[in-house]
Amino acid sequence: MRSIGEMARDSGLGVSTLRFYDRAGVLVPAWVDPVSGYRWYEPQQLEEARLLARLRRAGMPLPDIRLVLASWSGADTGLVRRLLKAHLRRLEQGLADARSEFSALRALLDHRENAMTSLRFATVRVPSAAPELAAALDAVRFAASTDPELPMLGGVLFDIEGERLHLVATDRYRMAVAQAGIAGHDGSRVQVIVPTPLADAMRALLDSEGPVRLSVDGDRVSLEVGDRQAAGQCLDHDFPDYRRLLPQAAGRRAVVEVAAFRKALETGPVRSGEAGAPALSVLRVEDGGTVTVCTDGDADPDRVAVNREFLLDALAAGARDRLILELATPTVPVAIRRPDDEGTFSILMPVRLED
């Protein structure tokens, strides 16, 4: 007699599967211990179990499996052949149906992509000329991803809608959003991802003088300043819906003097993790509305830890003597805003502290 464990090992059916087929009356053990309930099988049942495993892998329905097993050892195998043939026809028809559905889905996807590309057309002017757009690029460039595994984040999103151009960059751990006024666009919303090298070329061009014009034509984008131009292909990826990631109003807002706060970060305590992990600054908003850099042993449950380098980058990109920090709970992103332009901001993902 074979134990259920031996039968499972030699047949390719798991113990729980053998129990199921026993309850279903498909492969009933030869003997069940009345005290322990342990199942035992006769040696010749191994062939049935292996046959059952094959039929199961082929996806045959349970009623047909029962008939195949019942007819397998008989002299007339005609029923078995008919059952196998019928199941094969079902599989072939199912595959044909699946191919048809996937073909329809691919056609819908191609139509959607072509429609989206054909709608990506816009030519806009930046009325305030180059400085505003240059400042917007400076405000977001630091957050662009350099991870080759995430090509869709390896650039700056240009989001044209109404009289606003939003620029967005993110590497998952931080996100920066800035805006610039535009004119001349009365169509639907247009979004393109400008590769980082092209965004840098556009930024360099914005140091020139002259009227600024941004054009999108399908998968190509260009920026003209005076008689100079930077142009190239957009990234052929979808950018995350950044509007769903925008921070809500935080419970604690504090105005920081950037120079003093930067010095406190650079000279204050840091929380070090494992080798190679970034240095963390642990922040807390005091009752008076000031932000302090906590010591490593501070046990305040409302303290928030962030990557110090990322925070210093965000302060530099803020380009103001004063900035607003919004902190909520240790798991809610930290927002850094400009007092005079809350449409330009960055957010940093907090880092969980292991006490």
Q: Which pLDDT belongs to residue 336? A: 92
Q: Which class would CATH give 2-89?
A: mainly alpha
3-class SS of residue 57: helix
Q: pLDDT tens digits, residue range 190-209?
A: 889 999 999 999 999 998 88
CA 57 from chain center: how many Å? Answer: 34
The Cα angle at residue 78 between residues 11 and 12, in degrees rounded to 5: 10
CA distance 323 to 265: 15
Torsion of Cα atoms, 269 then 171 then 147 then 310, to 10° = -20
Q: Which pLDDT belongs to residue 87? A: 92
Query: What confidence tier does 113 reach under pLDDT thresholds 50, 70, 90?
Result: low
pTM strictly above 0.85: no
Give the CATH fold of the 247-348 domain.
Answer: DNA Polymerase III; Chain A, domain 2 (3.10.150)
CA distance 348 to 78: 70
The CATH code that applies to domain 120-242 is 3.10.150.10
The mean pLDDT of 154-167, rounded to a whole number, is 91
**Contact criterion met (CB below 8 Å) for 120 and 216:** yes
Residue closest to 289 by CA, chosen among 333, 329, 334, 324 = 324
Residue closest to 124 by CA, chosen among 192, 197, 198 = 192
Residue 37 has pLDDT above 50, yes or no: yes
Q: pLDDT tens digits, residue range 40-59?
A: 999 889 999 999 999 989 99
Q: Exposed, middle or buried by CB within 10 Å (0-12, 13-18, 19+), for 98?
A: exposed
Domain(s) labelled CATH 1.10.1660.10 in the chain stretch across: 2-89
Residues of the chain with pLDDT > 70: what percent? Answer: 91
Residue closest to 136 by CA, chosen among 115, 157, 117 = 157
Domain(s) labelled CATH 3.10.150.10 in the chain stretch across: 120-242, 247-348
Residue 117 has pLDDT above 90, yes or no: no
Q: What is the mean pLDDT of the chain?
A: 86
